[in-house]
């Protein structure tokens, strides 16, 4: 190889040299991602791991952000500690629903040694919120030192949180897919509309084609009533079982409720604005259902999630 390289014209040699450097750098980063252990943070091996759940959909506008924020509140009401991460790069709007203006985002973790505690916002109802926004694009080009710092900081989330809910974008774009592939569990949101159901099915198909192996839950949002919601849920999961050979967890349904829209306009989560509303009661059932599930043996926590995500970004 060296001999061959030696005989190449100058420009080719420098080109190959640059490529070798690039590969060395990438390999170095991957080693850091794989080696960063929680011991670097706490001085002792941390075994506690949060349930990392990516909320996603095939079609946009089906209610992901609303369900993520309000599910976080419903879990918090059950005594769980929940962090919501805004991972919708195109339409990051968890902050809008919470009526807050974040001072920092994940970008600060990438640029300076800002502790993650300073970036985590205290939301209503005891939940915490990590604004991600466009900062997440830059994870693809992190240098080794920043990468290690980020992993050490996110490992702290496992110490505090029981649940980490990621509000992702819709569809099968590469970054959405990577979030979903890195998560231990998925909540797939769809409405009963045929277009939303077809896109949800397509999303699952793509996910499986990429060897996705998470526990997959489904929520039917904006059902006309419970009968319609559960009927659509049954039919959708039967189709997935038959044609994609996967089993879906029936998390539940949320009815179409005017109070959701009213709450959005007030920039207050509907769970808090209308504590006895239909959608709120539906979400209480969903949170209870989630809470009674068995812990997955393969659960990787926040640290495992970010490691896998960074690893995929580096192979892009």
Binding site for ligand ADP (CB under 6 A): 57, 60-66, 221-222, 254, 256-257, 260-261, 264, 279
Strand-strand pairing, 185-190 and 51-57: parallel
Element (H, E) at 255: strand 249-255
Considering the complex, what minimum distance in angstroms separates the CB of residue 222 from ligand ADP? 5
Nearer to ligand ADP, 240 or 279 (CB): 279
Q: CA 263, 126, 223, 184: dihedral to nearest 10 degrees?
A: 140
Report the nearest approach of Mg ion to the CB of residue 97 (Å).
Answer: 9
256's contact among Mg ion, ligand ADP, none, with CB below 5 to 8 A by partner kind, is: ligand ADP
Sheet arrangement for strand 121-122: 121-122, 128-131, 82-87, 163-170, 51-57, 185-190, 215-223, 249-255
Residue 55 sits at the vertex; the CA angle it makes with 110 and 78, to the nearest 5 degrees, is 100
Query: Which residues, at least 6 apart from 223, have a Cβ–Cβ distance to it below 8 Å?
Result: 191, 192, 229, 232, 253, 254, 255, 256
Residue of 65, 70, 76, 178 that binds Mg ion (CB under 5 A): 65
Nearer of residues 269 and 304 to ligand ADP, judged by Cβ:
269
**φ/ψ (deg, to 5) at 152:** -65, -40
Q: Which is nearer to ligand ADP, 142 or 260 (CB)?
A: 260
User: Hey, what are 254's tokens?
Assistant: 């949320």
Residue 147's H or E segment, with its range, is: helix 144-160
Q: How far is the CB of 134 from ligand ADP (least distance, A)?
A: 17
Tell me the closest approach of the beta carbon of residue 270 to ligand ADP, in angstroms. Answer: 8
> Longest Cα pair distance anywhere in the chain, in angstroms?
77
CB 223, min distance to ligand ADP, A: 8
Size of the site for Mg ion (CB under 5 A): 2
If the CB atoms of residues 86 and 158 are measured against ligand ADP, the closer one turns out to be: 86
The binder of 279, among ligand ADP, Mg ion, none, by C-beta within 5 to 8 A per type, is ligand ADP
| Residue among 167 and 184 whose Cβ is closer to ligand ADP | 167
Nearer to Mg ion, 82 or 89 (CB): 89
DSSP secondary structure code for residue 6 in this structure: H
Shortest Cβ distance from residue 81 to ligand ADP (Å)? Answer: 23
Residues 29, 142: Cα–Cα separation, whole Å: 9
Residue nearest to Mg ion (CB): 65
Footprint on this chain of Mg ion (rule: CB under 5 A): 64-65
């Amino acid at each position: 190889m060296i001999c061959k390289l030696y005989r190449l014209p100058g420009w080719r040699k420098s080109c190959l040299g640059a490529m070798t450097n690039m590969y060395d750098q990438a390999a170095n980063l991957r080693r850091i991602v794989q080696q960063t252990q929680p011991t670097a943070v706490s001085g002792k091996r941390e075994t506690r791991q949060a349930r990392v759940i990516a909320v996603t959909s095939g079609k946009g506008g089906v209610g992901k952000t609303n369900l993520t924020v309000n599910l976080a509140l419903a879990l918090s009401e059950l005594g769980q500690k929940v962090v919501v991460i805004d991972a919708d790069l195109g339409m990051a709007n968890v902050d809008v629903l919470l009526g807050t203006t974040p001072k920092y985002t994940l970008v600060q973790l990438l640029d300076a040694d800002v502790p993650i505690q300073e970036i985590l916002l205290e939301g209503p109802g005891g939940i915490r919120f990590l604004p991600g926004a466009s900062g997440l694009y830059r994870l693809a080009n992190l240098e080794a030192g920043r990468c290690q710092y980020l992993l050490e900081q996110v490992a702290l989330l496992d110490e505090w949180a029981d649940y980490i809910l990621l509000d992702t974008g819709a569809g099968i774009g590469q970054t959405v897919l990577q979030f979903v592939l890195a998560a231990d569990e998925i909540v797939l949101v769809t409405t009963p509309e045929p277009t939303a159901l077809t896109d949800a099915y397509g999303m699952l198909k793509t996910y499986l084609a990429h060897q996705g192996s998470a526990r997959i839950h489904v929520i039917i949002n904006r059902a006309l009533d419970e009968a319609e919601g559960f009927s659509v849920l049954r039919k959708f999961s039967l189709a997935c079982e038959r044609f994609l050979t996967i089993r879906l967890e029936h998390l539940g349904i949320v009815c179409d409720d005017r109070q959701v829209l009213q709450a959005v306009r007030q920039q207050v989560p509907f769970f808090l604005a209308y504590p006895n509303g239909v959608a709120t009661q539906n979400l209480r059932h969903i949170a209870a259902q989630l809470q009674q599930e068995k812990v997955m043996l393969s659960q990787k926590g926040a640290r495992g999630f970010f490691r896998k995500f960074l690893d995929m970004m580096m192979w892009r």
